[in-house]
A and B are shown apart, each in its own frame.
Chain A
Amino acid sequence: MNGALLGVCGVLLLAVGVLVGRWSARPRRTAGAGAGALTEASTLAALHAASLAAPPLRAGLNESTAGKSARRIRDLLGTRAVCLTDRASVLTWDGIGGDHHRAEALAQAASMLQERRAAAVPTGCHKPGCPLGWAFVAPLTVEDEVLGTLIAYGPAESAGLVRAAEEVARWISVQLELAELDRSRTRLIEAEIRALRAQISPHFIYNSLAAIASFVRTDPDRARELLLEFADFTRYSFRRHGDFTTLAEELHSIEQYLTLAGARFGDRLEVTLQVAPEVLPVTLPFLCLQPLVENAVKHGLEDSAGTSHITITAQDAGVDAIVAIEDDGAGMDPRHLGRILDGEGGPSTGIGLRNVDQRLRQVYGDGYGLVAETGVEAGMKVTVRIPKYHKGVLPSPGPAR
């Protein structure tokens, strides 16, 4: 009895597995109900298909993103075949007939690249039974420049399909423009990082070298050691490649920074470091802690003559690591800091804090921004939460040597 039951269960399970495999392999076809039968249902279906097609396109137009969204676009148009091209090549073909129509798609697109208007073109297909008699071509434009074309195929000429292809192409164009916007935002932040690197240099280099120079006579060994630290530190800060680094590397660079700062400030700078070693391999955006430490040193020492204490802690918190940098220096008006983080603090102030905040949010999402605790004359504590793993965040392989 049990045997039979189990056998049935086994077969069922196998069937489920195969179905799951197929289901994840193929998109669910949105119900292609008769036109106008259930307007609400078809509107919802169209919106659903559109929302699924959008995310890949937000990364720009290339083979991979076109491939991912083509099925959804075909669902949206309700045609048997859809093709996306850029100016030079066919990016993807979804649906039937790719074997003999794909080659000529670019020729159909070519006229469009000048005309910039949607049009219907006969394919002149002689293959019996092929339902792709007409191609409906519409341009994809970003900032008045044609990036590529959307081609839908149908059995007969239809003004409706021309309209539909044009509308969908316009919608795709909007997505691509947004993608362009994302890219410029990224470029802006990258430019800021470069500015940040450049900003460290003049002041810091001058002060460090002056401190080192003061040791050359009195303590040549120490001068030599500091010089090595200095070389190493600048090498890390000015490296050109890679967006990410590990917490161990970043802490190492902070260590060098503090050694050099210590040479300048002597006993006035006290530092405590607490590190849970399991968070050292955590990957994080390049130079996202060092500006915070620099900030703490500035707040603690540059505006006063007393001693300053800085505490740096790195803790394990399950899926996240938590890094906190605390100083007992001058502190700040919380409202002023809030304005800085909102990007309203004027061009020159606190570019480090805002840049770090922006980059963390950009990479990990809005839940991972800086949290600062401060008050006038109350010191400041800045806390950063970093996920141990985040999709796409991987340390850059070291420089090839």
Chain B
Amino acid sequence: MNAAYTVPAIVLVILATVLIGALGLRISRTTSDFYVASRSVNPGLNAAAISGEYLSAASFLGIAGLILVYGPNMLWYPFGFTAGYLVLLLLVAAPLRRSGAYTLPDFAEARLESRYVHRVASVFVVGVGWLYLVPQLQGAGLTMTVITGAPRWAGGLLVAAVVTVVVAAGGMRSITFVQAFQYWLKLTALLVPAAFLLVAWQTHDGHRLAYGKQLTFRERTHVTLSSPLDLSVTRPVRVTVTGDVDGRGYAGTTLDLGPGRHHVEQGARLDFAAGTPVPDTVVMSGGRADQSVDSGPQPHSLYTTYSLIIATLLGTMGLPHVVVRYYTSPTGAAARRTTVVVLVLLGAFYLLSPVYGMLARLHAPDLILTGDSDAAVLVLPARLIRGVTGELLGSLLSAGAFAAFLATTSGLTIAVTGVLTKHVLPSRGRTSWGVRRFRWVTLLATGVPAVAQVLLGDLPVADSVGMAFALSAAAFCPLLTLGIWWRRLTPQGAAAGLVVGGGSALAAVVATIVGGMDGGWWASLLGSPALWSVPLSFLVTVIVSLATQGGVPGGTEAMMRRLHTPEDPGGRPDPAAVRGAGG
């Protein structure tokens, strides 16, 4: 990819973000337009901000990459990412806003009046936030590698550094405008190239599609492996090899790989003729093995699918950066309307994911072998459209990808920093210490995931986001839904649910990341823990609550009234209406 176009595009995105963040306040100089300046954020703007912050690297790059490798079943991700907001709308949006909480621990404290639950919830918020930050930074690293050839960890550190500096310097004073801008930027960055690509697809392929599992190389393709690879061959593959395959060295020899497993060493160059079927790979990522893309249905694919659905549908409501944005809605009713607009905006965005996924399957199957499938979106324009146009479209996509990293990373950083400063590391200091402390905590909030992404290597981006959703669902879905709808919830029940449900999901995620699972049912259960940990969490919360009914907080009835009573719509006359009447 041409760095001459891409690097300026990325620099522009960063500059625009910083400028809007610093200057995008509403300013009025005469009292007559005071009303405009102090008007609350309307649902449209807030919905764009929520969507902009939410559409992360997983959505922008990861889904197309997963579709490329695993096929259309991965479309459950964008569906779940969107439907999660519908569940949020149905069960929590308006009451959550009315609770007045800025973070989830705030909600726990307001509803349950317990410092203890509030502490435990804080720890999980930070956990979910960090787990979500790691893939953002990894995606940034991958993008930088594709663009400039820099090492993988460098891009992640760059984004972490930019976000830390901007947030710590107080540069995100008007984050709503920043995030709304990021949404429209990301949509444009995906939509414009998609239009070009579809035209190119029509002329190149004449409407040819690839729904099925089996992919073929459309033209003669060279692949140079940057890491060792295991191939699992079902149909014999003819390949010209320079390097080591199955322990033997070759120099431009043509081999017929028979059915079975073949080990290819790092640095080998494989040369496939046009029309050759793409061999399946045994993906080795972070020590985790065997997500083999075999031609039949995967052994636990149905379990994994359901677990993914549960995680995304019920996990969205607990994501720290999502909750924080709802605070901006002036009323519960506005929060609901905002969410409907979010559904529209996300739906529009995700209509593009299958387009990129399909085109990647047709034109970039070699990325499966090099392990760069997350970069599929970025390389497609250059593959289909020759010349400067392709390069420019590629830069637009890279800029959009950077917008995705920046938006989600800054949103998460602010949310995690907030929880860390206020709830996890309580301050005893004076006001003057506040700013310096805030900066150090920001560094902590981004530093931990930045180091983690260097250490962990490469998990597939959307996959680790899936784990963050699972953790969020297991920890916070019972707390929120039962807290809002069930009077008999006790702090003890909520704490037990958090610790058992959230704790078991966290343990599963850690076990999966650290490794040691060699395939089979256990790997599936631990890699996609939502299907068992969410019901477990609900069950424990309900049982312990029923066993400790003495602990029902005294303010439950008052809190329920607050959560469900509509705000007074006409507490004071709408000034605009009064002026209008005045003529």
Contact = CB atoms under 8 A, between A and B. Distances in A.
A and B bind? yes
Contact of B101 (A14, A228, A368, A389): A389
Nearest to B101: A389
Given A259-B31, A318-B418, A6 B499 contact: no
Nearest to A253: B572
B100 A319 contact: no
Contact of A369 (B31, B431, B572): B431
A399 interface: yes
B34 A255 contact: yes
B572 A235 contact: yes
Interface string A308-333: 00000101111100000000000000
Contacts of B550: 25
A232 B572 contact: yes
B173 A316 contact: yes
Contact of A9 (B507, B516, B554, B565): B507
Contacts of A43: none
Interface in A214-273: 221, 224-225, 228, 232, 235-236, 248-249, 251-252, 255, 258-259, 262, 270-273
A122 interface: no
A366 B418 CA distance: 20
A319 B438 CA distance: 10
B500 A13 contact: yes
B110 A367 contact: no
Contact of A16 (B427, B503, B568): B503
Contact of B328 (A249, A272, A277, A389): A277
A400 B568 contact: yes
Indicate the member of A248, A318, A393, A398 with the most B CB atoms within 10 Å: A318
A111 interface: no
B495 A272 contact: no
Interface string A350-383: 0000000000000000011101000000000000
A6 B522 contact: yes
Interface in A280-307: 280-281, 283
A146 interface: no
B492 interface: yes
A399 B429 contact: no
18 contacts: A16-B500, A17-B503, A21-B492, A21-B493, A24-B116, A24-B495, A25-B550, A25-B551, A248-B330, A255-B34, A259-B31, A273-B28, A273-B37, A281-B328, A315-B170, A319-B418, A367-B429, A389-B103
For the complex of A and B, 7 pairs with smallest distance between CB atoms:
A398-B571, A398-B568, A17-B500, A21-B496, A388-B102, A389-B102, A21-B544
Given A21-B495, A275-B25, 12 more contacts: A13-B507, A24-B116, A25-B548, A232-B573, A249-B572, A259-B34, A272-B29, A273-B27, A280-B40, A319-B422, A388-B327, A395-B100
Interface of B: 25-31, 34-35, 37-41, 100-103, 106, 109-110, 114, 116, 170, 172-176, 327-330, 414, 417-418, 421-422, 427, 429-431, 434, 438, 491-493, 495-496, 499-500, 503-504, 507, 511, 516-518, 522, 526, 540, 544, 547-548, 550-551, 554, 562, 565, 567-568, 570-573, 575, 578-579, 582-583
